[in-house]
Structure 1
Amino acid sequence: MIRVYKIVALLVVGFTFMACPADDSPSSEPLRDYQEVYDEELVEIENFLDTHYVTVDADFNTTFTEIPDGGTQTPISEMPELTHIPVTLNDVDYKVYYLRLNEGNNENPTALDSVYSSYKGQLLDKTVFDHASTPIWFKLEEVIPAWGKIFPLFKTGDFVENTSTGIVSYSGYGAGVMFVPSGLGYFNIEKALIPAYSPLIFTFSLKRLRYRDHDGDKILSKYEYGPDLAEEAIDTDGDDYYDYLDVDDDADGVLTKEEVKFTYVDGTVTKTGYYPYTGKSTDDPLTPYDDRRGIPRKFTGPIVPPSTLPSPASDDSDFTDATRLRRHLDKTCKPPYTN
């Protein structure tokens, strides 16, 4: 079924088949059978992994070298860092190999989010077709499919900015290499140095990320799409608008962002805030509101500070119970709210 979005701007959300910007206009070759092409390319990719070794420097830059006759270097195919995931697209079950050079320390993006990445793109003959040593922001929805599958397997690290020079230093960030069949890349598109039907190698690092809110309803899209970004996104009210693109998730006539709003007093000033989808594990004493409270269910009890509640606290579970029906998804629950 074709979905019609409630927000006109979101009509342009699509897939660009681009992993990185380029000035050249693409051309295309006649369309071939996806399975036939993949069967050929899997042999090429696995042969590359069997016949090459990789050297990695302290910044996770990579150099691929063919193992000479009689060489004792460890082929990529035998590295413990090499693994693969299954990806199904266009009725083809792909095996996507990747090297986990460093997992990262902090947060994983989802395929709906933006990543700040440095990268190098190569063909199997090691021709470099693109390179960004300085990180660039990418929306994972707008790049080749493989990026949206592999980047979420890595985490961001830490960064420190030198206030006098403006130079940002990164540490502990995720870094890896993905080996991409053309069916998860450009397929029959020929662009710049990339011939049609070319498997690709991307060495990349995940420096930072931005969680996105596609419909601006104050709930991150990663919470509204569904568990593990299931193939079919969530449509709570069955109105043919996915929740992450729906400004009224339960079709009760009240905008979602109004249902997740609360007010609090900061000194003598009444201000507005928005409940996080899930509250923090500990309260930040510097904020005048309780950070532990996520979006509540339809509230039925008195408001008391969680610190004064017994454990378990029945009324506080209105904010914290993992299985609760949050009020923006409950069309029987409308403002005005007591909390």
Structure 2
Amino acid sequence: MKSLLKTLLTFALIVSLFSCEEDDGVSLTPVRPYDEVFVEDSTKIRDFMNSHYITYDSDYNVTFTQIPDGGTQTPISEMNELDTIQRKIHDITYVIYYLKLREGTGENITRVDSSFVSYKGVIFNKTTTDDEVTYNQTVFDNKQTPIWLSLDEVIRGWSEIIPLFKTGDFTTQTDGSISYNNYGAGVMFIPSGLAYFSTGTLTIPSYTPTIFTFKLHNLRRRDHDQDGILSMHEYGNPLDEDRFKKDAIDTDGDGRPDYLDIDDDGDGYLTKTEVRFTYVDGGQTITSYYPFQGATTDDPSTPYDDRRGIPRKFTGPIVSPSTLPSPIEADFTDVARLRRHLDKTCKPPYQN
């Protein structure tokens, strides 16, 4: 991203989604205060929602139409599908409007996953002539063929709204094409402070709120630091349902969140070495990784106990590798346990 992002925005509309203010260490000095612009953006968004209605087809392709004088169409602002979330960012509380046209029937996505999406980006401009108000819409990006976008690398508004939806399913046709079904589909209205703010482009002026219609077809779980633990498990306490609304956890306080840190607890041992275990199969010693959480039941076809997630620190020997030990000896299952890769006092070598 950085300066490269601005160049890419000029030459390729696809990357208009990527943020130039998140996670790359660059701080653009805003010409105007965030809170001042947010008030203006919110007014513009509400005016648009009050004066427009939407239609969409069976594939959830959305069209925005201005309500004519005397029109009886239901404005966006009065739709049952309209909802909001609040996020405290830039020391202000943003209110983000979105339409959940369909939630989706598949998996939940998180803000550290990669999303397979199709979308359309729209900006609007209000003009008043002889007491007549007209809205001009401009489509600045239109990707109806799904593409992969990592949610920690796009504008902040996307990383907040997309995780409120689920993926769908797909079928492969006889001609090799893919048909997507039951995907999450919606519309988001993003204030400029969570989009491009003061960074203007040839297609998006500075301080411009944006609208995106989107469909979430699929997802890919990511492991940013390649330590054998999915980033979604390292972002925050899995017992906290709101953990993705907050800053990512940094266990050792070194300035790098756990999902980007190769030594989460700062004990001098790589996280990936602390979540490994070995087992013997056919006389051969094999190294593998504990899952974050073990399976509900053991698979008898595997030579190890599938119920074991990453264990906490333990002191007693494991009596039998085929039997789940008691919590006194080792804790592989308690969801609230302090896993050994996050316990600085717990260092290799380990017993499996």
What TM-score do you get using the length of structure 1 for normalisation? 0.84
The structure 2 residue matched to 1:302, chosen from 314, 318, 327, is: 318
Deviation sequence 1:216-242 (CA, Å, 0-9, x none): 111122222224135443222334443
Q: CA deviation at 1:201?
A: 0.6
Give 3-state SS (helix, strand or coil) of 2:351's partner.
coil
Give 3-state SS (helix, strand or coil) of 1:148's partner.
helix
Is the CA contact (8 Å cut-off) linking 1:296 and 1:318 kept in structure 2?
yes
Match of 2:342 in 1: 329
Match of 2:268 in 1: 253
The structure 1 residue matched to 2:185, chosen from 165, 169, 175, is: 175
Aligned 1:16-27 pairs, distance under 5 A: 23=11
Deviation sequence 1:225-266 (CA, Å, 0-9, x none): 224135443222334443222212222222110111112334
Match of 1:70 in 2: 70
Match of 1:54 in 2: 54
Distance 1:15 1:289 in 2: 50
Match of 1:216 in 2: 226
The AA in structure 2 aligned to 1:234 is I
Matched, 1:130 2:146: no
| Higher RCO structure, 1 or 2 (CA under 8 Å, sep 6+) | 1
Matched, 1:195 2:171: no
Overall identity of the aligned pairs, in % = 57
Query: Taking structure 1 as reference, are residues 168 and 280 closer, same or farther at Cα in structure 2, changes over 3 Å only?
Result: farther
Q: How well do the aligned residues superpose, as a CA RMSD in angstroms? A: 2.9
Structure 1: stretches of 5+ with no match in the other structure: 1-11
Deviation sequence 1:244-300 (CA, Å, 0-9, x none): 222122222221101111123344443221111112334445544333221011233
Q: CA deviation at 1:317?
A: 6.8
- Of 235-244 and 191-200, more deviation after overlay is shown by 235-244
Match of 1:42 in 2: 42
Structure 2: stretches of 5+ with no match in the other structure: 17-27, 125-135, 238-242
Deviation sequence 1:109-134 (CA, Å, 0-9, x none): 22222111100001133211110011
Query: Taking structure 1 as reference, are residues 41 and 16 closer, same or farther at Cα in structure 2, changes over 3 Å only?
Result: farther
Q: CA deviation at 1:75?
A: 1.2
Distance 2:4 2:33 in 1: 21
Give 3-state SS (helix, strand or coil) of 1:37's partner.
helix
Is the CA contact (8 Å cut-off) linking 1:123 and 1:199 kept in structure 2?
yes
Matched, 1:159 2:170: yes
Q: CA deviation at 1:329?
A: 1.5
Query: Taking structure 1 as reference, are residues 106 and 131 closer, same or farther at Cα in structure 2, changes over 3 Å only?
Result: same
Distance 2:54 2:91 in 1: 32
The structure 1 residue matched to 2:151, chosen from 115, 127, 140, is: 140
Is the CA contact (8 Å cut-off) linking 1:302 and 1:315 kept in structure 2?
no
Is the CA contact (8 Å cut-off) linking 2:317 and 2:351 kept in structure 1?
no
Is the CA contact (8 Å cut-off) linking 1:81 and 1:100 kept in structure 2?
yes
The structure 1 residue matched to 2:292, chosen from 270, 277, 283, is: 277
Deviation sequence 1:196-222 (CA, Å, 0-9, x none): 221111001111112222211111222
Is the CA contact (8 Å cut-off) linking 1:222 and 1:229 kept in structure 2?
no
The structure 2 residue matched to 1:318, chosen from 331, 342, 345, is: 331
Deviation sequence 1:133-182 (CA, Å, 0-9, x none): 111111222211100110111111122334x6432222221111001111
Query: Taking structure 1 as reference, are residues 66 and 100 closer, same or farther at Cα in structure 2, changes over 3 Å only?
Result: same
Distance 2:140 2:330 in 1: 54
Match of 1:9 in 2: none
Match of 2:132 in 1: none
Distance 1:167 1:316 in 2: 53
Distance 2:5 2:35 in 1: 19
Q: CA deviation at 1:41?
A: 1.9
Match of 2:24 in 1: none
Distance 2:105 2:84 in 1: 21
Deviation sequence 1:1-43 (CA, Å, 0-9, x none): xxxxxxxxxxx8x79878x9651699x9982232222212211
Query: Taking structure 1 as reference, are residues 291 and 309 closer, same or farther at Cα in structure 2, changes over 3 Å only?
Result: closer
Deviation sequence 1:296-338 (CA, Å, 0-9, x none): 11233525477x669xx54697110112111111233233322
The AA in structure 1 aligned to 2:148 is W
The AA in structure 2 aligned to 1:74 is T
- Of 63-72 and 233-242, more deviation after overlay is shown by 233-242
Aligned residue pairs, count: 321
